[in-house]
Structures are given as C-alpha cells and as structure tokens.
Amino acid sequence: MIKVENLTKRYAGITAIRDLSFHVEKGEIVGFLGPNGAGKSTTMRILSSYMPATSGRASIAGFDVFSQSMEARQHLGYMPENVPLYPDMRVTEYLNYRATLKEITGARQRERVGDVKELCALKEVENRIIGTLSKGYRQRVGLADALLHSPDLLILDEPTIGLDPNQIRQVRDLIRNLGRHHTILLSTHILPEVEMTCSRVVIINRGKIEAADTPENLVHAMRTAGGIRLEAKVGKDDGLAEIGKLAGVKEVSVEAEDDWSVFTLRTDSRSDPREELWRLATDRRWTVRELSRRRATLEDVFVELTLGDEV
Amino acid sequence: MTKFLTLLSREVKSCFYSPIAYVVLCFFLGLTGLCFYSGVGFLSRGATERTVVEAFFDSIPFWIGFILIFPPITMRVFAEEFKMGTIETLMTAPVRDWQVVLAKFGGALVFYIVLWLPTLLYFVVFQQIAKADAANAAGAYWGSYLELLMAGMLFISVGCFASVLTQNQMVAAVISFCVITFFFLGGLLSFFTPNIAPEFRMMASYCSVLEHMGEFSKGMIDSRRFVFYGSGTALMLLLTHQVFQFRRWKA
Ligand SMILES: Nc1ncnc2c1ncn2[C@@H]1O[C@H](COP(=O)(O)OP(=O)(O)OP(=O)(O)O)[C@@H](O)[C@H]1O
Ligand SMILES: [Mg+2]
C-alpha cells in the first residue's frame, strides 16, 4: 500500500530524513514511532504529497506521490499534525466543502458526510462553529475529513495527542475498527496504545530507520529484557552475593524495605532464572513474599533504540 | 470546475466572515459617498466641461482611498492559511496549485466588485435628479468601471503575490501597499520631475493608472491598456503560483 524507497528530505541546513525505506502492506495498522524531531511528520507530509522529497521515491496504492499525486491523494486520507481546520466554518459545512474537493457530490455526499459524522460521534456538534469546539472534537472533525472519501489508506499524524483518557480510548477503538477495512499508518508517542492497536511498528531516529517489526518480535529481540523482582527476608549483602552467582543474571541491585530486601535483577533476554531463584530461596530458607517478572515493553525497546547511542 | 467553484465560494465566504471586510466596506462607502458629494458640489459651482463621472474618479481622496483598499482585501488570502497550517489540509486534497491560486484571486476580485456595486447607484440617482448626463457618453461611464475592474485585477494579483510571500498578514499588507503606491508614484513621475528622459516618461505613462483613468472616464478606451493590465495580472499570478509551490517544496 505504501512503498518508500531511499527517501531523503533536506530542509535548509538540516537533513530531516535520510535514505528511508519501508513498506506497508494492505490491511496493516502500522505505528510510526520516533522521538521528537525524528522526521515522522516530514515523512508523512511527503507521503501526503504536501511536499516533494529531496531524493528517493514513494508511492501510495501504486501511484507515485509526486508524479501521480492526484491519484495518490484520491486513495489517501490524511490527518496532519495538530489538525489544522478553518475556525470560521461550521462542522457540516466544512465536511461538505471537503467532500466536494474530494469529488464526492450530490446524494453520495449527503450519505458520506452523514456516515462520517456518525462514525466520529460528531452529530451533536454538527452545527457548531469549528473555532468554538474543544480540541478533542476538532480532532474528530479532522478524522472525519480523512475518512470522507473512504480511502484505502489512512495516514494519521498523532491522532490522540491532547485528548483526555476517555477520548483516547474512543479514538483507539475507532482506529481499531477502521483497521478492518483500511490500511493505517499512524504516528504517536503513546506506546501502550501502539501495542494495543498496531500490527507492526516502524521506529525511526534522527531520520533513519532503527527497527521495523511486530511489537512482539521487537520486545523479544530486546537485548535487555524486562527485570525480575524478588522480595525476601535476607541480609542485603548475603542475598546479593548468592543471587549474583546465578547463571543468566547480568546485574542485581537491592533496596531495604523494613526488614525485607527487594532485589531487582536484569537478565539476558533468553534466560529466565526464576526457577533457580526459587530453589535458592528455599534452600537457604529465605522467606519470600514476591517473585515476579516485569515483561519488557515497547517503551523499553523505544528507549533502547532511540537513546542507546547517547547513554 | 466544481472544485474550482467550491474553492472560489469558500474564498468569497471567508472574505465576508472576516470583520476586516466590513471595515473596508464602511470605509469605502463613506469615501465614495464623500467623493461623489464633493464632485456634485464642484459641478454646482458653475458651468464646467467636466462631468460628474470625471469629477468623481479624478479626485485625490478617491485615489488615496483606492490604494488603501487592496492590502486589507488581499493580505490574508495565503498568509492566513500558512499561519494556521490549513494549507496542509488544503493542498493534500486532490486540488491543483493553480486552482487554489485562481480561486484566491477570484475570491478577492468578487469582494472588490461587490464594493463597487453601490457606486453604480450614485450615478443613476444623479441622472434621475439632476436631469443631466453623468458622463459624456455611456462609453465613458462603462469605461470608467472597466478601468476600475482591470486596475483592480492587477492590484489584487499584486496583493495575492505579497500574501504568498509571508505568513504574517501585516507584512503582506505593507508589501502590497508599497508596490501599489509605487505604481501610482510611477505614474506621477512626469509631474514631479519634468525633465526626465522621454523614454522614462513614456514608460511611466504606460504604467500610470491615474492617467488611464482620466482617459477612460472621458470615454477613450485604449486597447493598449488591456494588454498592460492583462499581462501584468497574468505575470503576478504566475509569480504567485511559483512562490506558492516553492514555499511548500522548500518548507
Ligand atoms: N519547515 C521546516 N523547516 C526546517 N526544518 C524543519 C521544518 N519542519 C521540520 N523541520 C526539521 O526536521 C526535523 C524533523 O521534523 P519532524 O517534524 O518531521 O519531526 P517529528 O518526528 O514529526 O517530531 P514530533 O514528534 O515532534 O512531531 C526536525 O529537526 C525539524 O526541526
Ligand atoms: Mg511530528
């Protein structure tokens, strides 16, 4: 659905993205992640034909975004960062206006505008002036606009930024539902959301791709998988010495909590020393009140990939 | 075509949604009313060769006011969209750059024409009451309006160009004001400096909107003027289109 080959974009002075290549297949929901200034919005703007790349090629549904941009735009629903809208128009008026620009007219326009208002829960504000809407509703108007021409592909730049937790959940559900019929590329900084909705993630940092895989694979491939936590009644130094000897343990730290010791272990991604820990504790007759493993999350992956070379 | 008309009607509407439109409208009605009043006053002072149309269009306050209306009409057309970021939603819909440029130009032009409509009434009323011709001939009457339309097109295209250069409406207004004033002063060059080279004088008079207006309001319709305004407008719109693309491409 999206094919990006060796895309480079240079602004006056800085290179925002460098030799970027990735693709998105039909039916996928792909999360596009990266720290601030990584080049996510830049890539999306190129894909939406808003501006051309300095070099490289990109196509949407087989249409080159530069040379066949009209066809590409017909297949794409795009919601820019910060959802710019005309503040002086009314919601329905705006959607009708956008529909005509997208060549949806007459009875089909009435039907589509009605549908997207329904889908994005805009019915109760349909006659309000956009400038007076809350941020969340404006976001929904932007999303409704992107959906108007029932495009095969949706590109959403930070669709949930600035929304309250309820609305985030609503938008997330909406996106998941849309994912049944549309291909979606979305950028966001809310990583749990990506784990819940996206079938694949592309992580970029400083204009370069760091990883592109399913969230599960990325988490599994983490070099430093999640930690293990053990709370036991044992002297701090004793415990440290004994636990440090176990295979697969890379690092142990300890904190005192009343007369309990709380050990935090970092391990290799492949090994799980919980069984040996348990045996050790029973052998030494430590009283254990908690033994748990914290799974690595996408956030760990993100931090490792985008911060790794700085720390 | 439907797309263009949609864009155009959006532009016209957004003109009328903005409070500036009403300020300009009031200012302009007041100004033209005053000019008409003083024109009629001038005629009633005694026998003269001038008609009311000539007296109206040939007064200094009229021209000063005329220059002043273009910057507020055109300053927002592109600058506001760039500032608000709506240019990104607009230009990722399947519309072409030139459609947007022409729609913005056309929207401002429609507003400009609406500004002028009430003044048509002045001359109708004059003819009814004074039982005298407002102009020497129908040609002079319509000629004046034709000249206004063409000069308007040129200056609106200048204004659009100024607006596409910046995202600050004030800056756009100042640029277009300066350029338009320059046209006028250019036309007055021969008054200020009587001994300049004749080539310059020729050029100045070719560009002088003031001079053209004098001719048109007497009923002399000169096809060279059409070429001047037509090509000037086309050139400005072309430049606007180029800068519009360039700004997004380099953005
Ligand atoms: N119009 C512009 N002119 C010059 N530089 C720009 C422009 N837009 C973006 N940049 C630069 O390009 C780089 C990438 O910006 P981009 O907006 O794509 O980042 P992003 O990944 O979307 O970040 P965020 O998470 O903050 O939205 C940044 O260094 C930014 O400063
Ligand atoms: Mg961004």
Q: What is the pLDDT of residue B194?
A: 66
Contact indicator for B72, B155 with CB cutoff of 8 Å: no
Average pLDDT over residues A159-184: 87
pTM of the model: 0.86
What tens digit of pLDDT does each residue of B74-96 get?
999 999 999 999 999 999 999 99
Question: Looking at CA atoms only, how far is residue B124 from chain A in angstroms?
Answer: 37
ipTM: 0.85
Ligand 1 atom at minimal distance to the Cα of residue A204: 21
Confidence of residue B192 (pLDDT cuts 50, 70, 90): low
Of the pLDDT bands very low, low, confident and very high (cuts 50, 70, 90), residue B56 is: confident
Q: Are B85 and A82 in contact (CB < 8 Å)?
A: yes
What is the pLDDT at residue A311? 41
To test the contact with chain B by mutation, choose from A11, A69, A101 the residue with the greatest count of B C-beta atoms within 10 A, namely: A101
Q: What is the pLDDT of residues A191-229, one digit of tens each?
A: 888 888 899 999 999 889 988 988 888 877 765 556 788
Q: Which domains does chain A have, with CATH numbers?
A: 2-221 (3.40.50.300), 227-295 (3.30.70)
Q: Where are the alpha helices (DSSP H) in chain A?
A: 40-47, 69-74, 91-101, 106-119, 135-147, 165-178, 191-197, 215-220, 236-244, 274-284, 298-307
**Total domains, chain B:** 1
Name B77's Cβ contacts closer than 8 Å, sequence gap at least 6: B11, B104, B105, B107, B108, B159, B160, B163, B164
pLDDT digits (tens, 9 = 90+) for A299-309: 878 887 887 65
**Which carries the bigger pLDDT value, residue A148 or residue B218?**
A148
- Interface mutation target, options B16, B88, B98, chain A, most CBs of A under 10 Å: B88
Residues of chain B with pLDDT > 90, as a percent, come to 39
Q: Number of residue pairs across A and B with CB atoms under 8 Å?
A: 66
- DSSP symbol at B141: H
Per-residue pLDDT of A27-42, as tens digits, reads 999 999 999 999 999 9
pLDDT at B191: 65
Question: How confident is residue B136, by pLDDT bands cut at 50, 70 and 90?
Answer: low
| Average pLDDT of the residues in A65-86 | 93
Of the listed ligands, the closest to the CA of A43 is: 1
* Residue B250 reports pLDDT greater than 90: no
Average pLDDT, integer, range B171-198: 78
Q: How confident is the model at residue B11 (pLDDT cuts 50, 70, 90)?
A: very high
Average pLDDT, chain A: 88
- Phi/psi at A106 (5° precision): 60, -140
Ligand 1 nearest atom to the CA of residue A44, by list position? 18
